[in-house]
Amino acid sequence: MNTNNHPSRNLSQTIMAQLIFWSRWLQAPLYLGLIIAQGVYVYHFMIELSHLVAKTTTIGEAEIMLIVLGLIDVVMIANLLIMVIIGGYETFVSRLNLKEHPDQPEWLSHVNAATMKIKLSMALIGISSIHLLKTFINAEHMNEVTIKWQVLIHLTFIVSAMAMAYTDRIMTKNLIDAHKNPEQ
């Protein structure tokens, strides 16, 4: 059946397509919420930093290292939030049009859903590494089962990231091959 003979069907399909396309803006409040969450992390960072400075003369090297690793953890989570906020908004909601901006992140020029997943998985591995390092430094106060679970979770993140990167590589190769040989 030819849809050109039914103008109301074309109109309803056009309206539905426009509604679906505009529904991406429902994600904008989610990104605003992540910006607020990042503000909470900045506040937490400043509180922890003030505790470190206030205790400088009374704490030992191991405790300083644990606090500093906690600060690094907050920074890495903030970096993860920025990747999700900026990359997700750019990928799924609307272009940011930052091509001439001197502060545009380098990775933003080639961001897509697949590269975001890989970057996010690498960030999670980094965050997990910091947690694992904190656990190893503080191992004498930790339950052996907890340590084993943290190592297992960290390894799961690594294997998952490798699987995603490998899958992306296969998909990219298939797309390149399809463009080279369009008759197949």
What digits encode the pLDDT tens for the residues 161-177? 899 888 888 888 877 87
The answer to whether the beta carbons of residues 66 and 137 sit under 8 Å apart is yes
Helix, strand or coil, per DSSP, at residue 21:
helix
Which helix (H) or strand (E) segment is 61 a member of?
Answer: helix 61-82
Domain ranges for the chain, please list them: 3-180
What digits encode the pLDDT tens for the residues 33-81? 999 999 999 999 999 999 999 999 999 888 898 899 889 989 988 988 9
Please report, rounded to a whole number, the percentage of residues in the chain having pLDDT higher than 90. 33
134 burial type by CB count under 10 A (0-12 exposed, 13-18 middle, 19+ buried): buried
**pTM for this prediction:** 0.71
